[in-house]
Structure 1
Amino acid sequence: MERKLAAIVAGDIVGYARLMSEDESSTYAALRATFSELIVPTVEKHGGRTFKTTGDGFLATFPSVNEALDAAIEIQNGFVDRPFSMRIGINLGDVIEDNGDMFGDGVNVASRLEAMAAPASIFVSEAVVRSADRTRNKLFYSIGRRQAKNIAEPLAVYAVRLEPDRLGGRAWIRRIALRRRAALPFAVGAAGLIVLAVFTQVPDLRAIGADLTDSLVRLSGGKPADARPTVAVLPFDNMSGETDQAYFADGLTEDIIANLARNPELQVIARNSTFALRGQAEDIRRIGERLGAGYVVEGSARRAGDQLRVVAQLIDARSGAHLWSRTYDRRVEDVFALQTDLTAEIVSHLVSYVRESEVSNAAERPTENLQAYDLVLKARDGYKHGSNDAEALMAARALRHRALELDPGYAAARANLGMTYIVDFAQNLSGRASQTDVETGLSEARQAVRLDPNLAVGYQVLSFGLSVNGDYASAMQAAQRAVELNPNDPDSLMALAKAQVRFGSYDEAVRNAERARRLHPMAPEYYTYVYGQALYAAGRLDEADQVLRECLIRAPREADCLLIHTAVLIQREDVQGAQRTMALLTDVDPEFSLADERANRRFGNSRLMEQFLEQLAEARAPDATSGILSPRRPLL
């Protein structure tokens, strides 16, 4: 017996038993011809070997994921003119080879993926997506996590995009019909335009066809995949022996996350999600599964006087294997150089190269004054964004003021100081904030981006403050800039998604909200609300209903989710359900009114805004309230 890593393809004919019952001899002859003329030659052409056949199915092994993908796509395309459809699953995993046969999880997962697959499609595991050539990234789109028989943890499943220009017109129509029968009338019409464009070679019509093809992928449930490595940095352990030094280890972790997040070659899980797992003695593979991360960084920090020792290790979360481990002994004043070294080490192991510009960006020192840096770490540790603790907010503000007294050019301290003023007004934490506080916060944020034009958090604070002030166009521009500078910051992505909903860019809003949730798998319900709102705006009502119901299972009195769910239920013609949801909303928020919603303009000046108000009215929303309206969460 030999244990090895192998790419496994599992295939199965759809509807074979039914066809056999109708015409046994012809069906069997067609099946034999399919294997001898298509499947076996294609497997061998791409360097594979068929090691098992099961009547109407087969298992094959390939030396590489890329050969397995090419063979599977060629096989599916070869079924165009045959009386059958085929399902295919592909996995990369450990197998045991014994006398020409193969066993083990690598084979089992491929078989489970094949069983999940729709007819005329190819489902693959996350290991396949990560191991395929970078040029193939656009082949895949995620269909989420699926529970498989006799496999404990849900599988991250991807489908392979079978390009229409590689198929005949009849096959493309057939594939769309198989994937989503309910969408058949639209699919046939669209496919007809695509075929017409191909045969007439009319450039404008070809462009229409391409747009419709993209729409059909979305219609059939497909989502574009992002096959970049996903890394989660767990909070470093404080090994100093003094609990009051924990803030330093946490701050070091957060800054490493921030430096990694600036690299567009990676996806980086948000610190709030990784810190939520602190102290949980779980297997690293389980942690990777919960966070949706393929790689995990863990470590420790010991600070004694001006000496600093940091131990870090990078782990493959799928196998639990350690990729590297390193100990750094530095003086505390070298903490920024240490962060740069750690970032470069991680990037170099997860992507094919480290761009010099990215390394130099990560190496920029936020301040020359280590006492100021220490104060900012304490402020960050004392108040977390989203908290309702007014006392902690004021203490964090005071610490940042002290840091700026030591170094007035400390841009990140200035931006986060500005955030404390805007948050206080928006959430009415202290009860003393006024419009002047918002202007103070915006002034600090503008100074921060003047000091550091590449400071993503500065633009994030600007976006927040401008939105509170009602300048939504400028808020969206600032949010876009924040995302450009830090594509892995989920708060910036959510702020941008919310602004895009207001300005009618609904599909883009859905994509950004989805990405933010992937990067912050343990995000607060506000993320779910924004995602549900974007789905509602994009007309994806079934998905919006599901997402918002999930929100209300976890938080039955979440006002934002109740609000959007009311409109979704009306549009789905569940008037009684909408009225019950509205009654619960007004119980949660007695100051809620249509007048308030008209003023907020969460869908801007679009026709959707008027439709939304009409739907709320049909659900018996109160038109106005008595008394003074309480401050409401700003619409970012």
Structure 2
Amino acid sequence: MKRARFTFGPFVLDPDAGTLLRNDDPVAISHRGLKLLAALVGRSGEIIGKAELMDAAWPGSSVEEGNLAVQIAQLRKLLGPNADGGEWITTVPRVGYRFTGAVEPLGEARRKPLPLPGKPSIAVLPFVNVSNDPEQGAFADGLTEDLITDLSRVPGLFVIARNSSFAYKGRAMDVRMIASELGVRYLLEGSARRDAGRVRVNAQLVDAVNGDHLWAERFDRGLEDIFAVQDEVTSKIVEALLGRLRTPPPRIRPKNLEAYDLCVRARKLMDDSPQAAREAHLMLSRAISLDPGYAEAHRWLAMNHWMGWVHSGGPAEPARKIALDLARNAVALDPGDVGCRWVLAYLLAYAKSFAEADAEFARAIELDPNDADTWAALSDIAILAGRIDDGLDHIRKAFRLNPFPASWYYLTLGQAQYAARDYEAAVETLLKDETYRTSSRRFLAASLAQLGRLGEARAEAELFLVGNPEYTTRHWIATEPFRDDATLEHFVEGLRKAGLPE
């Protein structure tokens, strides 16, 4: 993807890549801090109000003004003084902040084009919300996500995952460039409007190689027909790409549109913060009460409970059991939903029900070999089972299907590289700003320790323990689905060298 970059003093800021360099060395900056810095640097010399800055760093969330002050203070400490000994960011009392440094835009960086697969390949770009109500943006996003899910289940297609498609949301870019960066030939783009019980959808299928429009259509239906519209769009695309109609197995659709809306909104909050996760929990619980047969709501609520268990640093047994029960319910409600299958497989593996987990992973891949999350989750489980080559192959497949993935993909890749004893690659991966650093620091510390960089390793270990004060390696081993003694010992060796408590 083309992206604008900025230089000021010894720094280079790349907002889209999520990186800040000082004299070409990476600077550890938080996600919120980077968003704030990008907003300030992008309008250097201008006064930016507090409300606008808070919206940039906490979009869609209600936070106290004190959080902004804390983040600005951390940015000032991180950047240090400018060449004149003053501050890069100045306070405008009762109004906001201003970036005072001289900023120069750099040439736009481009990702290396990805090769085309050996079968028809497509990405669904985020549908544009053309209603007058910004709240309907979630509806347009839900439509996009459902179309990605529908198309990925079609045999013979290669379909880019949701995270990577949504990396282009709100960007005005040439379709050929997008297709090149994602490594696909075809793009589906469109718009949606929901108003007064009606839904209007425009969709068009573009061949990005030669610019031809293969198919375009407008749908104007009652809101209750939205899922029929999705099925029709999918069928038209499959017919255009494969030359004949190959409809995927029917999906079990939600029966309540309010439950559907709640689920779409909730899944956007899952990885944001503990507060957002609690909001998601309430939304998903409400969705299930409105539509008890809605499998996807059960699946996401299972992950919500699971993430609460994982992030708490210990096996809160009730949360783990609730998560597993919800995942089983999700599969029972919709056996053909690949997302429900891989979530159940993953939780079964962590419950040490390995035979059942392996069977569920195999069924998920059979249902949808395009699902990047399945391959990434399977990589984690394969590595801990000692199948290192398989784990590396699985995570590479996941990245190809999802070139702009969620942060946990990088953690999984770094873990796989460590297991393969490619410590340099693991360090490079785990230092990326895209990586979820709270959990990955222990693997980064272990990789550094194996390279003999003990000072850096112990610094990372100390940072990890700040966020995980109750951590012990013994407790971690008990919660992880290890099936191979040699792999287990290899991880323990690195963690011990890094100085993490046993």
Judge same fold: TM > 0.5, yes or no: yes
- Residue 582 to residue 349, structure 1, CA distance change in 2 (3 Å): farther
Q: CA deviation at 1:612?
A: 3.1
The alignment partner of 1:408 has SS state of: coil
- Show CA shifts across 1:323-352 (max 9, x none): 222112222222112111111222222334
- Show CA shifts across 1:384-429 (max 9, x none): 2651433433333333333333432222223223332222222239
Structure 1: 5+ residue stretches without partners: 1-151, 159-224, 625-636
The 5-angstrom pairing of residues 182-581 of structure 1 reads: 226-356=117-247, 358=248, 361-362=249-250, 364-367=251-254, 369=255, 372-384=256-268, 386-428=270-312, 434-538=316-420, 541=422, 545-546=424-425, 548-554=427-433, 558=437, 561-568=440-447, 574-575=451-452, 577-581=453-457
2: CA distance, partners of 1:406 / 1:386 = 20
- Show CA shifts across 1:362-390 (max 9, x none): 4x4413x3xx2332223322442651433
**Does the Cα contact within 8 Å between 1:336 and 1:365 map onto a contact in 2?**
no
Identity fraction in percent:
33
**Does the Cα contact within 8 Å between 2:411 and 2:435 map onto a contact in 1?**
no
1: CA distance, partners of 2:114 / 2:166 = 26
Q: Residue type of the partner of 1:268?
A: V
Select the structure of larger CA radius of gyration. 1
- Show CA shifts across 1:49-98 (max 9, x none): xxxxxxxxxxxxxxxxxxxxxxxxxxxxxxxxxxxxxxxxxxxxxxxxxx
Structure 2: 5+ residue stretches without partners: 1-108
Of 453, 460, 466 in structure 2, the residue corresponding to residue 584 of structure 1 is: 460
The alignment partner of 1:344 has SS state of: helix
1: CA distance, partners of 2:376 / 2:163 = 15
2: CA distance, partners of 1:602 / 1:243 = 43
**Does the Cα contact within 8 Å between 1:383 and 1:392 map onto a contact in 2?**
no
1: CA distance, partners of 2:385 / 2:319 = 27
Q: Residue type of the partner of 1:585?
A: A
The alignment partner of 2:431 has SS state of: helix
2: CA distance, partners of 1:306 / 1:534 = 49
Q: CA deviation at 1:522?
A: 1.5
Q: Give 1:621's aligned residue.
A: 499
2: CA distance, partners of 1:155 / 1:523 = 16
2: CA distance, partners of 1:620 / 1:551 = 15
2: CA distance, partners of 1:281 / 1:569 = 41
2: CA distance, partners of 1:323 / 1:286 = 18
The alignment partner of 1:554 has SS state of: coil
**Does the Cα contact within 8 Å between 1:557 and 1:584 map onto a contact in 2?**
no
- Residue 354 to residue 556, structure 1, CA distance change in 2 (3 Å): closer
Q: CA deviation at 1:514?
A: 0.5
**Does the Cα contact within 8 Å between 1:494 and 1:516 map onto a contact in 2?**
yes
**Does the Cα contact within 8 Å between 2:262 and 2:283 map onto a contact in 1?**
yes
Q: Residue type of the partner of 1:520?
A: N
**Does the Cα contact within 8 Å between 1:249 and 1:301 map onto a contact in 2?**
yes
Query: When the two structures are superposed, what TM-score results if normalisation uses the length of structure 2?
Result: 0.69
**Does the Cα contact within 8 Å between 1:593 and 1:621 map onto a contact in 2?**
no
Q: Give 1:605's aligned residue.
A: 484
1: CA distance, partners of 2:460 / 2:436 = 8
Q: Residue type of the partner of 1:604?
A: R
Q: CA deviation at 1:488?
A: 2.0
2: CA distance, partners of 1:236 / 1:157 = 24
- Show CA shifts across 1:229-261 (max 9, x none): 331111111122211222211111111111011
2: CA distance, partners of 1:417 / 1:451 = 14
**Does the Cα contact within 8 Å between 1:231 and 1:268 map onto a contact in 2?**
yes
**Does the Cα contact within 8 Å between 1:247 and 1:378 map onto a contact in 2?**
no
RMSD after superposition: 3.1
Q: Size of the alignment, in residue pairs?
A: 391
The alignment partner of 2:456 has SS state of: helix
**Higher relative contact order (CA closer than 8 Å, sequence separation 6+):** 2
- Residue 550 to residue 423, structure 1, CA distance change in 2 (3 Å): closer
2: CA distance, partners of 1:399 / 1:565 = 35
- Residue 303 to residue 557, structure 1, CA distance change in 2 (3 Å): closer
The alignment partner of 1:296 has SS state of: strand
- Residue 297 to residue 351, structure 1, CA distance change in 2 (3 Å): same
Q: CA deviation at 1:449?
A: 1.6
**Does the Cα contact within 8 Å between 1:462 and 1:478 map onto a contact in 2?**
yes
Q: Give 1:72's aligned residue.
A: none
2: CA distance, partners of 1:548 / 1:560 = 14
Deviates more, 1:252-261 or 1:405-414: 405-414
**Does the Cα contact within 8 Å between 2:351 and 2:481 map onto a contact in 1?**
no
- Residue 560 to residue 445, structure 1, CA distance change in 2 (3 Å): closer
2: CA distance, partners of 1:373 / 1:593 = 45
Q: CA deviation at 1:448?
A: 2.2
